[in-house]
Structure 1
C-alpha cells in the first residue's frame, strides 16, 4: 500500500463505526421495556430492576465519547497515514466495537469476579492503541502537520489515560467491588490539562 494517503476516508469510516457502537449500548435497555410489560412491572419497577444496566450504559457512553474526543483531536493534526497507523486505528476500533459486550456483562453480573477487570481491560486496550497511534504520528513528520502539538507534547501527557486505566485494571483484578469506582480517575488527566493550560496562559 502506498505511504502517505489522505486520512479523510479513514476518519469517516472510524466515526461511522464509533457511532454504531455507541448506539448499540442502548439495546439492552430497550429490550428491557417489553420484558417489563410482559411481567406487568410498573415504570418504577422497570427502572429499579435495571439500575445496573442504566449505570453501565451511561458509563460506557461517557467512556466512548471521551475516547472519540481524544481520537478526533489527534486526527485533526494528521495529514496522512501509513499502514502502521491504519492497523493501530483498526485495533482501536476493535475495542470500541467490543465495548458493548462487557457493558452488557456489567449490567447483568455487576461486581462478580473478573467483570470489572474485563470492562476496564477493554478500555485500557483502547487507550493503549491510542498511545500507539500518537507515537507513530510523532515519529513520522510526514503524517502530521508541521505545527502539530503531537511532536512536542510530553509522552507522559499522551499516555496519562493509559496509566490511570492500568492502575484501575490492577485494582479491579484484586478488588472487583471497587473496580468501577476507579474509573473516576479518568477525570484527572483532562483536569490536569485544563490547569496546565490555565498556567500557560497566565505565564
Structure 2
C-alpha cells in the first residue's frame, strides 16, 4: 500500500469486493436448497418444504436485503473514490469479513428457535459491524479529499446516512439484548432512516 497506487489497483479492490459480496449473497440460499432432497426422502409435500422452513426463508430474505443494501452503500461510496490508501483497504477487508460471516449467522438464525437469545444478538452484532466498517470507510474518504473523485464528492449527506444507519443498528442491538422478545424485530428501527434524513435536512444550515 505504501508503493505505487494505480487506477487499476482501485478497480481490482472494487472487483474483489463485488465478487466476495456476490458469493456471500449466493451462499444464503444453499441451506434452503439442501432441504429439498431431505424433504423428498421423507416423502414430504412441496408445500411442506415451504411451510416447515418459514423461519429460515424469513431470515434468508432479511439477509439478502441486508447484503444488497450494504453493497448499494459500498457501491455508492466507491463511485466517488478515485484513489486509495492503506486504511481504506484494511477497513474494506474488515467490511468483507462481516459480509462473509452473514451466511453463517443467517444459518444460525434460521436453525435456532425462538427460545435462543444468542442467535439474534450475534446476527445483529455482525450487521452492526458491517455498518461500522462502511461508516469508517466513508469517514476516511471524507477526511482525505485527495482520494475522492472531486471536491465535495463525499457529501455530508453520505456521511450522515452511514452514521445514522450505524447508530440505529447499535440501538437495535441494545434492544435485542435487553428485551428478549424483540429478536429480529428490533431491525425495524431502520425504518426510521427516512425520518432521520428528513430531520437532518430541515435542521441543516442553508447555504
Regarding TM over 0.5, the answer is yes
> Cα RMSD over matched residues?
2.4
Q: Is residue 2:188 matched to residue 1:188?
A: no
SS in 1 for 2:181: helix
Pair 190,73 (structure 1): closer, same or farther in 2 beyond 3 Å: farther
TM-score (norm 2): 0.88
- Residue of structure 1 in register with 2:111 after alignment: 108
- Residue of structure 1 in register with 2:16 after alignment: 13
Pair 124,3 (structure 1): closer, same or farther in 2 beyond 3 Å: farther
Contact preservation (8 Å) 1:169, 1:179: no
SS in 2 for 1:159: helix
Instruction: Tell me by how many angstroms 1:174 deviates.
Output: 2.0
Mind listing any 5+ residue stretches in structure 2 that lack a counterpart?
none
> What does 1:1-203 correspond to in 2, within 5 Å?
1=1, 2=3, 4-6=5-7, 7-111=10-114, 112-153=116-157, 155-190=159-194, 192-193=196-197
Pair 97,37 (structure 1): closer, same or farther in 2 beyond 3 Å: same
- 1 CA distance for matches of 2:51 and 2:181? 20
- 2 CA distance for matches of 1:177 and 1:5? 51
Instruction: Tell me by how many angstroms 1:195 deviates.
Output: 8.3
Deviation beyond 6 Å, 4+ runs, structure 1? 194-198
- 2 CA distance for matches of 1:69 and 1:90? 17
- 2 CA distance for matches of 1:9 and 1:169? 34
TM-score (norm 1): 0.90
Instruction: Tell me by how many angstroms 1:150 deviates.
Output: 1.8
